[in-house]
Structures are given as C-alpha cells and as structure tokens.
Structure 1
C-alpha cells in the first residue's frame, strides 16, 4: 500500500518552562509537497519531581493520510540524538494530540540514560502506523528540546509482615525488606530467621495493600482494599531459611540454611558518600542490619565489619564481598539501608525518590 503523510505541525507547550535565549526551534515533516515549517515558542522544559502527574508537554500534529480510510496509531518517541538509533516510546494514541506528564517525560529520558539534574538535549518525533502489526510506518522529522530530568528510582521494594517474621502482624513495625537481585528486578530473597507460623509480603509499610498472600501454591496479589484478602503464606518450620520470591510468575520457595555463622559484632557504612554510620541489628535476628535513614552524597560506600571491608559494583541492591570494591551511590538523598551478614546482600532505598 502506498502511503503519504500530510504536511505536519508540532506545537509543543510546556507548563513548567525555564526562560530561554536560543533561537526558536523549527520542525519540518517529510511529505510529497514542500514541508510546512513552524516556529516553536519554547525549547526548554524543566521536569518537576514534586508534581509528577502534572502536564509537562503537549504534542500535536495533523492527521496522517493513507490511501484508504483506516484507523491510525500514533506513538510519541524520544531519543538522545536525531538519528533515533535508540528510542523510547512515551505514549500511544489514536488522536492528533497528546499531553505528557512530568513523570512520563522523565521516565522516557531516564530510560535513555540522561543524567539527573542537568540540562540535556532530547529529540521528539511522531510515528504513525496502521493495523495491529504496525504496518506502513511513517515518521515525522525530529525536533530538539532541552529537558532537565529528575532522578527516578526504578524499583519496587517489599517488606515482611506476620507472626513468622520480626515485626509480627504490624504493618509498620520496622518491617524488614526483601533483598532484590541486582540483575533481575523481579527476583527477591530473604535469608534469615523465621518462626513456624504465617506471614505476608507488603508493597508498602503502613498499608495492607498492595500485599501478597498465597493461593493454589503461588503468590496471590491483593491490589486494593476492595479485593478479597488472600490466605497467609506459611513457614512450615522454625529456623534460618532462604525465602525466594519471583514476581514475574508469582512463585516462591524456601530453602533451609544448614550452617548459620556467628553474627557480626558491628556493621558500619563508610565511604566518600557520607560519614561513618553504624547499622543496628534486628533484635529478632542479629544477622539483619539496618539504618532507616541516613544522608548520603553522590559517591560510593562500603560496609565495614569484623575488620574487613565489604563492597560491590551495583547500585541500590546487590551482594557485598570482602574487598569487593565500592558500592555506587548515584544520587544525593536520605537512604534506608539494609545488610545481611549471612549472604552479604544489601538494599539501599533513596527515600525521597521511592514510593
């Protein structure tokens, strides 16, 4: 099918805009006729992390025309350069206009690897296609826009609750975090002491939803209060066990810890990201160490314990090893930090950027 794309026009309007002195950006879109060129009234958008749902940019264009009447799908794409070798889809619509929120634009440029809190050049284009297989794809010419992204913590953290675990059935009692795999964001583990009893997994401390219970041998999500409360997960024996949770398929398993070493006498966070900070061991389980909030600068940290330095290469979560290097701290913030002295696993949650 031969297709033609009518002359198109972008109109970008940012609701949070810094003043700019550069010449107005211009955009042309390929067509069978001479392209229509338009002036834009902005070329900079500062993204506001305090109001992530607020509108940031509105993109509008004229309707693409195909040789036969057909529903058309439009995709707004972002890229770090004009050739769009790597692009990120920000939104999809059947209309000729879309308003992107602060978080939608921020997520798009974060996925492209943009550095938080710096002005950087981004490019926007609109892709049109027809049919469920995205046939007859056409692109507008890209237009440049400067964006100032904020940091977006990309992970979900989960917490234990229930009589089998340290906090009992209190959903806001320093509930210990599950340790997320550094290379699989759906995989979580917790190696520690369990009672022979029942528990659940919380998405947020202080709230009973979302939560995971069990149904038919797999994890069962209760997303909202109006949904039925699933049965609790059972720890069938007391002792040190490794709970493994895979949220990609809602499976979980237990494995016994055969040889439990002596707990560390102390654990301290040290490094150029902040001063020395002593962690506290859970009374329920002296192998689980934490600090609920400590300020860190951009830089790196290690865990100091038993006269040795434990480090790793992955930010936010991973496994620390003796002389394993420095753990990167990519953004300045107050962090909640957890460390497991049996496995070396750690979790670092930037409190002002997480849910």
Structure 2
C-alpha cells in the first residue's frame, strides 16, 4: 500500500548581504507553510520484506521559491529525532515528488539504527538547495511517520569452485565460503588447502554468474550468463595458502601458510542464541568447519573447541580469539555458519535475509 505524504512547503526567508561588488546579488526567499494533506494510515508504514521493490511512500512538496530562476535540487531525508542531528539521505531529485521503494525506506531505517520488526518513530523532511552546488540550503518542517522495518542483510557472500578447491568444478557442492573482513566489505580471504590447479569465485552456489575469474593479473567479473567466461585463477602450488581479494580494485594475492597447526578435534556453537550445535569439518580440509543451516534466536554465540571458548565482537563475520567475547546474533533466523580453526575466522549468513 502506498502511503502518500504531501507536504506543502515554502522555504523560510533568507537574505544574502549585498556587497559593493557587481558580481554579488541580493536574493530573497519568501516562505509560507501550508497544511499537510495525507490519505488513510499515513502515520504508519509497515515495510514488506517479500516485495522490497514495491513502493512504500510518496513524498511530494511545493517548489522552493528563490528570487531568481535557478535549478533546484531536493533531498528527502529521514531521522529519528526532530533536530535531524544525523539525517539519512533517502533520495535525490530535481522534481517535487519522489516515490520510495520498500527497500529504500528500510535501508534508511537500518542506517538510523532502528530495531527490526518493531514500530518506531521516524521523521521526514525535504532539503532544498540551488543547482548542484549545495548552497542556499533550506529545510521543510519535519513530518512524523511510524515505521515497522524488516531486517536487511547488507553483504555479498562468495564461494570457491574449481579443481584447486574442495568442491571441484561443481557449483553446488557445499562450496566453501570466503571470509569477509568485518571492517571492509570489499575485502575477503580464505586460508586453507589448495591443490595445484585452477579455480573461480562464485557469488551464489548453483549459478555460474556472477563469478570472478582472472584477466591481466586482476580479477575479472562475469556478471551474467551471456557474458564471456573469464579464465580461471591458478593456484601454482599445492598446500595451505591464504587467498586475499579486494573487490574495490579487483586485486588478489596468495601467501603461503608456513606453519599449519593440528586441526581441532571438534567445534561446537554455544550461547544463548541457541542450543549446542556441532560443526562438521570438510573432508578435503579438516581445518574448515561448517553447518549449512541451524536456527538461532537473537542473542549471541561462541565457539567451543579443544576445551577453549572462542569469541568475537562483530556480527556476521570476524576473527574469534580465546575468551574473545560473545559474537552478536542480531536477528532470529536459520544461519549458515563457517569457522576456520587456523585463523579463527568465522562467518554467519542469515539464510532468509541473504541476497
């Protein structure tokens, strides 16, 4: 259901001091505020996670008036307080109306720190400025609206495929997950066993696109099935190696693992987010542990192994250390979990919220 917000706004008076220079000109902006016109249920928007592209709300406003004709840019902003101390920009336009999709409003709510699946108060305003210079800024009075956001998992995940890796050239054979840097969403790594052979990187199990191969010494993206298949990446030696990739510039590198410790005998997920869950080691590489799906409540987990407790502080991915704290589980869902007992790296994917 489209909740229609109509805000008639005239921007408040602003006088630029004129100087003696002929290049400066006095500009006056006249202001007058009109009533808010809204349809039913305007004050409550329940965001639909099953249809993220559907329209959620239309915001419209009267054109800002400047004393001389000039292009005007508008930004629709959300905030969780009326002072808009840390606003989130939801849309940019030169029109006087914009329709925001469910995902756009939900992303704004997430950026504001709203708790998923709870009603919370939000505020909307329109920022006007001259042209593209972001000058002569003025703001409308804020509009109140209640939002019911859903949880949005914002990350991309990637998987290994190829003769150099555990699944071989099957794109849906429990392909191991790359571990994402929790502080840089473009950086991924994988420390483990590689054969002296070739491999690629998949964006989704069971599909050959998107995928990354190599071209000219850098990673090459094949975004869709109708694009040419790039050459495979080569692991030039067999053994334990660390693959590091940076998708911001499509670079990758290998580093040999000089000392490989003895593999853990068992790894168990524990914590108040769910009961004890045993992970399984890959037959190809006993240092890589996983469970493809296990239910977790909102709360936290740790990893128990060899009589020690390993934890961390970052949700979804990070590096666990002995007595390193409780790993946050922000939302109830079924999770795929991976753990590397060489590095302590972990990764957790909420399966019903992932892309």
When normalised by structure 2's length, the TM-score is 0.91
CA RMSD of aligned residues (A): 1.8
1:6 match: none
Q: CA deviation at 1:65?
A: 2.6
Q: How far does residue 51 in structure 1 lie from its aligned partner after superposition? A: 1.0
Q: Tell me, yes or no, if the aligned pair for 1:27 and 1:142 is still in contact at 8 Å.
A: no
Is 1:262 matched up with 2:269? no
2: CA distance, partners of 1:225 / 1:72: 42
What SS is found at the alignment partner of 1:293? strand
Q: 1:338–1:252: structure 2 CA closer, same or farther, 3 Å change rule?
A: same
CA distance in 2, matches of 1:262, 1:153: 34
| 5+ long unaligned stretches in structure 2 | 13-29
In the alignment, structure 1 residue 15 sits paired with structure 2 residue 13:
no
**How far is 1:37 from its partner?**
1.9
Aligned to 1:91: 91
What SS does the corresponding residue of 2:103 show, helix, strand or coil?
helix
Ranges in structure 1 where 5+ consecutive residues have no aligned partner = 1-13, 18-23
Are 1:240 and 1:257, in contact at CA under 8 Å, matched by a contact in 2? Answer: yes
Matched, 1:51 2:51: yes
Q: Is the 8 A contact 1:25 1:143 kept in 2?
A: no
CA offsets 1:263-291 (integer angstroms, 9 cap, x no match): 11111111111111111111110100000
CA distance 1:129–1:226, shift in 2 (3 Å): farther
Alignment partner, residue 247 of structure 1: 247
The yes-or-no answer on 1:229 pairing with 2:216 is: no
Question: 1:142 & 1:307 partners in 2: Cα distance?
Answer: 56
Determine the C-alpha separation between the residues in 2 that align with 1:229 and 1:75.
41
Following the alignment from structure 1 to structure 2, what is the Cα–Cα distance between the partners of residues 171 and 344? 26
2:267·2:278 contact (CA, 8 Å) conserved in 1?
yes
1:162 and 2:158 equivalent?
no
Per-residue deviation at 1:72?
2.2
User: How far, CA to CA, are the matches of 2:213 and 2:130 in structure 1?
Assistant: 42
Q: Against the structure 1 CA distance between its residues 149 and 27, is the aligned structure 2 distance closer, same or farther, given a 3 Å change threshold?
A: farther
Residue 135 of structure 2: aligned partner:
135
8 Å Cα contact 1:25/1:43 also seen in 2: no
- Matched residue, 1:121: 121
Cα distance per residue 1:103-159 (max 9 Å; x no partner):
100001101111111111111111122333223222211111110111111111111
Indicate how the Cα distance of structure 1 residues 100 and 322 shifts in structure 2: closer, same or farther if over 3 A, else same. Answer: same
Q: Is the 8 A contact 1:64 1:128 kept in 2?
A: yes
User: In structure 2, the residue corresponding to 1:226 is in which secondary structure?
Assistant: coil
1:193-239 per-residue CA deviation (whole Å, 9 max, x = no partner) reads 00111111111111111111111111111111222221111111110
Superposed, 1:1-355 pairs within 5 Å as 15=2, 29-31=10-12, 32-41=30-39, 42-355=42-355
